[in-house]
């Protein structure tokens, strides 16, 4: 059996309301809020980046996993906002959480699905017995150009998972991917902000990849949507995941506990896996979870996960996702510009 032995989340303290951004962009807040189904988004402090967010999430994961950091043999972190273009975030995080030097790392990037790509790599390494324990995470401090519709959603946060073969709290039973060359969203080298194909980001991109990956997984594990207690789909806004769930045959009860975007925004590489962390915070032994990420460019990773009775032992050893959603401070647009260095 291979699976999660500890999970940890981190979302920065600051929030900006959609109204505040609409005011600066000269748009109607109610139209935006109902269109994107978003109320507010998280904003990193000026001294926070993907490395500091990953460190806090990894420390929370370690509080739950009953192992020493020196026992972790690999760390893979996915982000589209690694602090350095050249120098791995994994090295900074490994040092800060007290890992030994006997580990392998490389940074991953695949728009919003780099976190689940990390999870797949660590899963394979642990399952094949190449390493005993591994750490996978997805974190971002997403940037959008002032005036871009993405400014309402581009947020900061992340989740980290420690995988092993014993004392598993959530078994990863299977995973599949669906990937193609689709230019729906990109950022060229040396550019500060991404570019995107507008309406093109919907049907041929988000919906096509999530639906195909999820259907491939359901077929492979021989399950149907109603077999799952929870389902989490990538959350670029509050509308897409609800619509894709409905198309696939999942109901609101299954997706709402993991749907965080209305309150925190789209945390890119952290998005679907923060949803998974929020579900693990409340899941019961025997619950089944389906997670499908989406990364522009484009691809989806889908996971079949089953919660074990070990979860009750470690759940309360760290702050929950809800704790980070509750303890916040609202800032105005001028402060937001300063914090995000626009």
Partner 1 sequence: MTVSKFWRNIPQYYNLIGKKCPECNSYYFPPRDVCSQCGNHKLEEHKFDGRGEIVTFTIIRTPLMDPEGEVIDIHAQTIPYILAIVKLEEGPKLTAEIVDCEIDEVKIGKEVGAVFRKIVEKGPHGVIQYGYKFKLVR
Point out which residues pair with 140 in neighbouring strands: 157
Q: Pick the piece of the chain touching partner 1 (CB under 8 A) from 21-29, 53-61, 123-131, 169-177.
A: 53-61
Give catalytic status of residue 13 as yes or no: no
The residue within the footprint of partner 1, chosen from 2, 42, 52, 292 (CB under 8 A), is: 52
Query: DSSP code of 112?
Result: B
Least distance (Å) between residue 52 CB and partner 1: 5
Contact (Cβ atoms closer than 8 angstroms) between residue 248 and residue 214: yes
Report the C-alpha gap between 113 and 50 in whole angstroms. Answer: 15
Q: Which of residues 105-164 bind partner 1 (CB under 8 A)?
A: none
Site for partner 1 contains 191 (CB under 8 A): no
Residue in 130, 166, 327, 330 binding partner 1, rule: CB under 8 A: 327
Which is nearer to partner 1, 90 or 238 (by Cβ)?
A: 90
Site residues for partner 1, window 9-38 (CB under 8 A)? 13
* Interatomic CA distance for residues 85 and 223, integer angstroms: 41
Among 84, 186, 200, 330, the residue binding partner 1 under the rule CB under 8 A is 84
Cα dihedral sign for 124, 130, 135, 138?
Answer: negative
Neighbours of 318 (CB within 10 A): 20
If one asks whether residue 100 binds partner 1 (CB under 8 A), the answer comes out as no
Any idea what the Cα angle at residue 328 is, between residues 326 and 330, rounded to 5°? 135
SS3 of the chain: helix, strand, coil, percent, to 5: 40, 25, 35
From its phi and psi, is residue 167 left (phi > 0), alpha (psi between -120 and 50) or beta?
left
Q: Which of 23, 31, 34, 46 binds partner 1 (CB under 8 A)?
A: 46
Q: Is 112 a catalytic residue?
A: yes
Instruction: Give the x/- contact pattern for partner 1 in 260-279, rule: CB under 8 A.
Output: --------------------
- Annotated catalytic residue within 20, 80, 151, 306: 80
Q: CA 64 to CA 89: how far, in whole Å? A: 22
Task: Please give the Cα distance from 233 to 248 (Å, whole number).
Answer: 11
Least distance (Å) between residue 54 CB and partner 1:
9
Kindly list the residues in this chain that would bind partner 1 in the complex (CB under 8 A): 13, 45-49, 51-52, 55-56, 59, 83-84, 92, 95-96, 98, 327, 329, 335, 338-339
């Amino acid at each position: 059996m291979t699976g999660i032995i500890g999970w940890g989340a981190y979302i920065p303290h600051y929030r900006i309301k959609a109204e505040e951004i609409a005011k600066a962009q000269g748009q109607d807040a109610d139209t935006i809020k109902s269109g994107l189904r978003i109320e507010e988004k998280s904003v990193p402090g000026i001294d926070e980046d993907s490395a500091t967010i990953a460190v806090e999430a990894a420390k929370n994961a370690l509080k739950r996993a009953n192992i020493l950091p020196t026992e972790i043999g690999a760390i893979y972190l996915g982000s589209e906002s690694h602090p350095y273009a050249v120098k791995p975030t994994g090295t900074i995080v490994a040092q800060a959480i007290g890992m030994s030097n006997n580990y392998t790392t490389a940074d991953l990037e695949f728009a919003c699905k780099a976190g689940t790509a990390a999870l797949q790599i660590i899963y394979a390494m642990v399952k094949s017995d190449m390493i005993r324990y591994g750490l996978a995470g997805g974190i971002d401090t997403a940037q959008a150009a002032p005036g871009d519709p993405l400014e309402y959603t581009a947020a900061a946060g992340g989740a980290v998972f420690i995988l092993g073969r014993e004392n598993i709290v959530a078994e990863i039973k299977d995973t599949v991917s669906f990937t193609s060359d689709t230019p729906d969203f990109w950022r060229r080298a040396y550019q500060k902000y991404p570019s995107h194909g507008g309406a093109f980001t919907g049907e041929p991109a988000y919906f096509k990849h999530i639906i195909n990956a999820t259907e491939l997984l359901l077929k492979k594990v021989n399950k149907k949507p109603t077999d799952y207690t929870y389902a989490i789909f990538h959350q670029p806004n509050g509308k897409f995941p609800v619509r894709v769930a409905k198309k696939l045959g999942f109901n609101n009860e299954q997706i709402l506990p993991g749907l965080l975007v209305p309150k925190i925004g789209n945390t890119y590489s952290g998005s679907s896996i923060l949803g998974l962390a929020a579900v693990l915070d409340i899941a019961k032994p025997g619950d089944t979870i389906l997670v499908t990420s989406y990364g522009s460019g484009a691809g989806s990773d889908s996971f079949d996960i089953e919660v074990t009775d070990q979860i009750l032992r470690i759940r309360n050893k760290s702050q929950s996702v809800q704790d980070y959603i509750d303890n916040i401070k609202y800032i105005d647009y001028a402060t937001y510009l300063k914090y995000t260095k626009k």
